[in-house]
Amino acid sequence: MLTAGCDVGSRTAKAVILKNDTILTDAVISARLDPIESAENVMDMALEQAGLALEDIQKIIGTGYGQQQIPFAHTCESEIVCHARGAFWNMPTARTIVDIGGQDSKAIKLDADGRVIRYSYNDKCAAGTGRFLEIMADALQVDLDEMGACGQTYQEEISISNQCVIFAETEVVSLINEEKDVADILNALHCSLSNRVASQVRSLLIEEDVVMTGGVAKNVGVFDALAQGLGVELKPLEGIDPQINGALGAALIAADGTN
């Protein structure tokens, strides 16, 4: 049986196609202005890779920021549930999940059966979201995907504590003007973001294993800083791109439904 999940985020769109419960294929594209277009493009890409047509898929579940606009989705599921499902499938020992998305970051707690017991979003401040990194990457003219590695080479510890993303950006500009090293600034940014998210997870009471999902999990700088901020071991998803976890969860839930 074939099911699919489509996760349309604010910056990227992802699709996963499942055969029973093995991943046939997955696709990630950067989001278009129009979510419908994003959804269609990413799904076409995944289908093409798998050599399938949309009709072959029995059930498709949409999730993410643009879930309402996905034309071919049979139903929608919240990102919380999808990330929980994906992560638990990947790592049944997972009890706490951290996902930093473009518009918001989430902390999710699971019970031993993978049910969501509690969850929380970032406090009303964009400084705790992926958008923060995007804007900073812009300001520093660094490629978003290279931020992590680049920040690892930092020498000096500096702190960026501004509440407002835009003012934090000003702070970054002035650090550049003070001719601070880009790596040091990046490291400061990673710590600043991680600390915000860490407090959000702590308020749910951390329970291990703690796993991080979402595209930002690929940023080693944030990943390490977050582990430090949480004071526990933080685990990456095994053998899959953490970015597709939401879509994967959606596809799995679609499969649950059809069995």
Partner 1 sequence: MKKVFTEAATRLNIPAIQKWKEAGGKVVGYTCSFTPVELFYAAGILPVRLRGIDATSMEIADAYYGPFVCSFPKALLQLAGSGRYAFLDGVVISNGCDTMRRLDDCWRKMGQDMPGTAPPWFYYVDVPHKPDGHARDWYVNQIKKMMAAVEKQFHVTLTEEALGRAVRKQNNVRRLLWELEKLRQADDLKVTGAEAYAAIVAGTVMPRDDYAAHLADLIDDIRTRKADVAADRKRLFLSGSVCDDFDLISLIEESDAVVAGENVCFGVRTAEDYVEETGDPVAALAARYLSGSVCPRMLGWYRERASMHMQRIKHLKADGVILQNIRFCDLHGSENGLFERDLEKNGLPALRIEREYGPLVDRGRLKMRVDAFIEQLTSQKKSTLRGNHAT
Partner 2 sequence: MTITAGCDVGSLTSKAVVMKNRRILGAAIIRSGPKPAESAAQVMAGVLEQTGLSQKEVACCVGTGYGREKIAFVDQVVSEISCHAKGARWLVPSARTIFDIGGQDCKVIKLDPHGNLEKFVTNDKCASGTGRFLDVMAKVMNMKVSDLGKLAAKSDAPVTFASVCTVFAQADVIKHINARRPVADICAGINTAMANRVSMLANTIKLEKDICITGGVAKNDGVVKALNKILGCRIKQIKRVDPQLTGAVGAALFALEKNNGDKK
Partner 3 sequence: MRPELKEYNLDWLFAATFNVSRNLCNATPGELKAMFDYIPYVRPLLEPLLATGKPAMTFLDFFGDYYTDIVHARENNKKVVMTTFCFDPSVFHAIENLVPVTLEIGTALTSMLWKRGSSDFMDYCTEIGFSETGCSSQRGAMGAYLAGLGAKIDLVALNMGGVCDTNANAYSFAAQYLDIPYYGLDYPANLTSAEVQDYHHKDYRALIQFIQDNTGCRFDIDRLREVLEEKKKQDDLMNELEEMQRLVPNPVPGIYHVMIYAGRYIFSGKKKYTQMLREMVAIVRETAEQGRSGLKHGPERNRSFLAYIDNYSLGIAMIEWFEKKGISHVGSILSRTFAETAPYTTGVPGTSYRIDTTSLDTMIDSMADINARMPMTRTIRGPYDAPNMWLEDTISLARMYQADCCIYCGTPGCRNTWSNVKLLARDLESVGFPTHIVHADSFDTRVEAWETTQMRLEEFYKIRGLL
**Interacting residues toward partner 3 by CB under 8 A:** 78, 80-81, 116, 118-121, 123-124, 203, 205
CA angle 194, 195, 199 (to 5 degrees): 115
Check residue 153 for interaction with partner 1 (CB under 8 A). Answer: no
Residues 105-144 that bind partner 2 (CB under 8 A): 126, 129, 131, 135
Question: For partner 2, what does the binding mask look like between residues 62 and 81, x meaning CB under 8 A?
Answer: ----x--x------------
Q: Is 160 in the site for partner 2 (CB under 8 A)?
A: no
Closer to partner 2 by CB, 10 or 96: give it: 10
Report the residue from 171, 215, 235, 254 that binds partner 1 according to the rule CB under 8 A. 171
Shortest distance in whole angstroms from residue 203 CB to partner 3: 5
Residues numbered 114-143 forming contacts with partner 1, rule: CB under 8 A: 123-125
Please spell the DSSP secondary structure of the chain, one letter per residue: -EEEEEEE-SSEEEEEEEETTEEEEEEEEEPPSSHHHHHHHHHHHHHHHHT--GGG-SEEEEESTTGGG-TT-SEE--HHHHHHHHHHHH-TT--EEEEE-SS-EEEEEE-TTS-EEEEEEPPS-GGGSHHHHHHHHHHHT--GGGHHHHHHT--S------SSHHHHHHHHHHHHHTT--HHHHHHHHHHHHHHHHHHHHHTT---SSEEEESGGGG-HHHHHHHHHHHTS-EEEPSSS-GGGHHHHHHHHHHHHHH-
Q: What's the min distance (Å) between Cβ of 189 and partner 2? A: 15
Stretch of 19-27, 40-48, 166-174, 197-205 lying at the interface with partner 2 (CB under 8 A): 166-174
User: Per rule CB under 8 A, is residue 179 in the interface with partner 1?
Assistant: no
Question: Half-sphere exposure of residue 78, counting CA atoms within 13 Å on the CB side?
Answer: 9
Query: Which CB sits closer to partner 3, 54 or 166?
Result: 166
Sole binder of partner 2 in the list 41, 58, 78, 103 (CB under 8 A): 103
Instruction: For strands 105-110 and 96-100, give the pairing.
Output: antiparallel
Residue 91 CA to residue 210 CA, distance in Å, equals 10
The answer to whether 78 contacts partner 1 (rule: CB under 8 A) is no
160 contributes a contact to partner 1 by CB under 8 A: yes
Give the residues lining the site for partner 1 (CB under 8 A).
123-125, 159-163, 167, 170-171, 174, 177, 191-192, 194-196, 198-200, 202-203, 205, 229
Give the residues lining the site for partner 2 (CB under 8 A).
10, 33-35, 66, 69, 103, 126, 129, 131, 135, 164-167, 169-170, 173-174, 176-177, 179
